[in-house]
Amino acid sequence: MAILFMVIFLGIMIFINIKNFGVESFDDYATSKTKFGFVSISLSVFSTWYVGASFTAWATLNVESGFLGAYVIPYASMMIITIYLVGEKTFLWGKKYKINTQAELMGLRYNSRFLRILMAISAVMFMAPWLLLEWVTQGYLFNYASNGVLSPFWGMLLGVVVVLVYVATGGMRAVITANIIQGAFMFIVGTGLMFYLLYYFFGSFTEAMSLLDNKHPDVLTYSGPGSSLPTAYWTSIVISSGFGAFMWPWAYNKLFAANSVKSIKQSTLLTPVFSLIFWSAAVFLGQAMHSIEFARENSEESYLWIANEAGPLALALMSTLIMAASIGTVSGIIQALSTAISNDIAQVINKEISNSQALKIARSSVVGLGIIALIFATIDLGALIDIALLTYQGIIMLFPIVILGLYWKRANKEGAITALILSTILSMYVEFAQPVFFTQYGWSGGIYGTVLGFIIMIIFGYLKPVEGHVYMLWDDIKEAKINYNKKAS
């Protein structure tokens, strides 16, 4: 039944989306000629943001660590603040200069081709591991859905083929259209299913929490069973995830497909509602499962396991939910990665690349990246959640560059380039080397790197006058606002 439900769901998506396949223009592939309203953008960001690995990698936090997994809820609010801050100028500059990506936007703002390439490389480096997480999730998914007939490897391979064909032929328009369907299914069916499982196995929310309070009280408190993490660790993963979450090009690039600044701002109100309700259900169910020995010892497959225990229909719905979340994210990641490689690396290095060649490069990148990630996914790399959290310590290094670039005229390319390089080195050094001088306080490498990035950019900002093109860009915003107000009146 699970395989049947997944096939039907995928068939519905393809049927609704059929007109969006076969794009022939790189601009259409990158940002879509169709512009979307706030409900579409909200559902797209929601479905892209909650990855399939939410039910495998993040299950480790929810099931094993309990309260620690709830860090996603406060960081959701911080991410929405980031969308609000970057939305207006991103949309207005993007519309006037026909910008396709985050790196291209910053290349314009800082008047630097090198920074544009550097940001694209950084994005590719820290986005690519997410494909690995999603392929592993696909392996778990098809293994459970087929009742063990498909091994995790063949499950991963099947998932890879479906997503790669989907993204390579459709581009951004197909991605967002699919995200709308996936997001609606995830929120309505997914939230309902998780609360159903909570009540089915534990009687009620109150009874589940009472059970934990009596037998596993440490699940309901920071920092969880058998852990003594400092408070600063919680704060640092909230901050790095909150401010880093919308630095992901797969999420940021959605702004270029919006139909207005108003839609972007409205989405900042709707997206957190979806997020709060959906993730609360996931956290409550995960915490309750801590009381079950099998779930504790096999946390990365616990959500699929408990659905399977509830019967074929529950497993079918959970499998379809995870598939929707996974494809929603993977399609966005691969589309963003391939666009970055073609638009921000290949076309910047070689300006003679034509539009059709750019599209071929993007599509070839889709296949290449998918296969490379599949190879690494077959290797046991330890706890998936550690890989996920590590990527945030890298992508947040873009935050000072983007925020200061959009709000501070003195921010310049020398500071941005120096900050990105040195802050990334510091962040990765702290994460991998774990020097006592830094780690004893509990802060993650991403926090140290971000602070360093801001310091460097502020110092460089006062070493030279504001560049002329910056005044022109700020004038563009003023002019756009005037024109917008005239139309509104």
428 within domain boundaries: no
203 vs 368: CA distance, rounded Å: 48
pLDDT digits (tens, 9 = 90+) for 403-438: 999 999 999 999 999 999 999 999 999 988 888 877
212 within domain boundaries: yes
CATH of the domain at 124: 1.20.1730.10
Amino acid 273: pLDDT: 81
Amino acid 151: pLDDT: 76
User: What's the average pLDDT block by block, 10 residues per block, for the chain (489 residues)?
Assistant: 75 63 49 62 75 77 82 78 83 84 92 93 82 76 78 73 62 66 85 93 90 88 78 84 80 74 77 83 90 87 89 88 77 75 79 70 70 67 67 90 95 96 94 82 88 97 93 88 62
382 within domain boundaries: yes
pTM: 0.79
334 within domain boundaries: yes
Length of the chain: 489
278 within domain boundaries: yes
- Could you tell me which of 105, 179, 157, 174 has the C-alpha nearest to residue 344? 105
Domain encompassing residue 368: 2-386
Q: Rg for the chain (alpha carbons), in Å?
A: 22
| Residue 206: partners with Cβ closer than 8 Å, 6 or more residues away | none
Q: What are phi and psi of 351, to 5 degrees?
A: -70, -10
Amino acid 399: pLDDT: 93
30 vs 45: CA distance, rounded Å: 16
Element (H, E) at 478: helix 468-488
Our count of domains for the chain comes to 1
Are residues 44 and 36 in contact, defined by beta-carbon separation less than 8 angstroms?
yes
86 vs 303: CA distance, rounded Å: 35
Residue 216: CB atoms within 10 A of its CB come to 17
Amino acid 30: pLDDT: 47
Amino acid 87: pLDDT: 83
**DSSP 8-state symbol, 464:** S
422 vs 399: CA distance, rounded Å: 14
Amino acid 43: pLDDT: 77
403 within domain boundaries: no
396 within domain boundaries: no
442 within domain boundaries: no
Q: What are phi and psi of 410, to 5 degrees?
A: -75, -15
